[in-house]
Structure 1
Amino acid sequence: MTSETLWYANRATGAISLILFTVVVLLGIAVRLRTRLPGLPRFGTVTLHRTLSLSATAFLALHIALAVLDSYVDITLTDVLIPFVSDYQPLWLGLGTVALDLMLAVLITSLLRERVGHRAWRALHWLAYASWPVALIHGIGIGTDTGTGWMTWLTISCVAAVVAVGGIRLAHSVRAARRTPAALLRTAEGARS
């Protein structure tokens, strides 16, 4: 494979990873809100979230492998796993490494969910929310397509979708927090009567 082919494949897998991880985040929020997607039973949303998470991880692994294989830039396995040590664009590549490390923690704990327990798994699963924007910033900073129209619109669309659905998730959390004290008060008053 030529260096040019590797470069194009790396760009493509980076863009596809952005799309897939965006959909994974959106589905994760849908699962948390117990949203049923049209045409799927409720458990279908969870299954789709898990399946796309694994697919996104596979594309991410391919993206990383292509970056390491491409001889145009010297990216080592150390650069992939340890943030900010690369000679090539250490900040932007380091952010990608941070995002990868966070996603590895989410992936490993998800695969070992039964062993680590639901509480620990859920706490570590919040790292996915941190990983997505870090990976996005990595792509904006290091991506050679960042200034192109199609990549700009893709990035804006992904950010808008996550912000919109994240806003819905936040609104649900605020509503639930407001109801909880009132429900506790009603329960306490009912117990006294």
Structure 2
Amino acid sequence: MSSEILWYANRATGAVCLVLFTVVVLLGIAVRLRTRLPGLPRFGTVALHRGLSLSATAFLAVHIAMAVIDGYVDITVLDAVVPFVSAYEPLWLGLGTVALDLMLAVLVTSLLRERIGHRTWRALHWLAYASWPVALIHGIGIGTDTGTDWMTWLTVACVAAVVAAFGIRLAHSARASRRTPAALLRTAEGARS
């Protein structure tokens, strides 16, 4: 395979990963909020979240493989899994590695969810919220398409979607925290007076 084909494949899979992982984050928030997507039962949202997570991970594996196989830039397997050791763009590649490592922690703990317990899984699953922006910064810093119109609009759309969903998630959490048993009891007592 020519270096040019590998370069295009790396760029394409990077952009696809941005879209897929954005949708995975959005679906994760939808699952947490118990949102039912049109045309799907609630368990369908969970299944879609899991399936797209695995698909995004497969695209990420191809993205990394293309970078390692392409001889134009010297990126080793070690560079892909150990942050900030690469001679090539150590900061930007290192951020991609940090995002990968965080995402792998989320993936592995999700696969072991039954064994590690819900509370541990949930605590570690928060790493997904850290992984996404770190991966985004990696792409902005190292991506050769950064600054092109199409990539700028794609990035802006993904960021806007995640920020909006995260805002909805925070608002939902704030409302839920006001519905604590003590607050509900005070409301009930106030209604009786």
Q: TM-score range by the shorter chain?
A: over 0.9
- CA–CA separation in structure 1 for the residues paired with 2:53 and 2:184: 36
Match of residue 42 from structure 2:
42
Match of residue 183 from structure 1:
184
Match of residue 81 from structure 2:
81
Match of residue 118 from structure 2:
118
**Cα-to-partner distance string for 1:3-50 (whole Å, 9 max, x where unaligned):** 000000000000000000000000000000000000000100000000
- CA–CA separation in structure 2 for the residues paired with 1:186 and 1:116: 38
Q: Name structure 2 gaps, 5 residues minimum.
A: none
The code of the aligned residue for 2:92 comes to W
| 1:1-193 alignment, distance < 5 Å | 1-180=1-180, 181-185=182-186
**Cα-to-partner distance string for 1:67-125 (whole Å, 9 max, x where unaligned):** 00000000011111110010000000000000000000000000111111111100000
- CA–CA separation in structure 2 for the residues paired with 1:117 and 1:168: 27
- CA–CA separation in structure 2 for the residues paired with 1:117 and 1:6: 41
The code of the aligned residue for 1:163 comes to V
- CA–CA separation in structure 1 for the residues paired with 2:104 and 2:184: 39
- CA–CA separation in structure 1 for the residues paired with 2:17 and 2:23: 10
**How many residues were matched structurally?**
189
Identity %: 83
SS, match of residue 179 in structure 2: helix
- CA–CA separation in structure 2 for the residues paired with 1:7 and 1:77: 17
- How far 1:179 moved relative to its partner? 2.0
CA RMSD of aligned residues (A): 1.2
The code of the aligned residue for 1:127 comes to L
The code of the aligned residue for 1:139 comes to G
- CA–CA separation in structure 2 for the residues paired with 1:19 and 1:153: 12
SS, match of residue 183 in structure 1: helix
SS, match of residue 93 in structure 2: helix
**Deviation above 6 Å: which 4+ runs of structure 1?**
none
Q: Name structure 1 gaps, 5 residues minimum.
A: none
The code of the aligned residue for 1:27 comes to L
The code of the aligned residue for 1:132 comes to W
Task: Name the CA shift for 1:100/1:184 in 2 (closer, same or farther; >3 Å).
Answer: farther
- How far 1:178 moved relative to its partner? 1.7
Out of 103-112 and 177-186, give the one that drifted further: 177-186
- How far 1:184 moved relative to its partner? 4.9
The code of the aligned residue for 2:183 comes to A
Task: Name the CA shift for 1:182/1:82 in 2 (closer, same or farther; >3 Å).
Answer: same
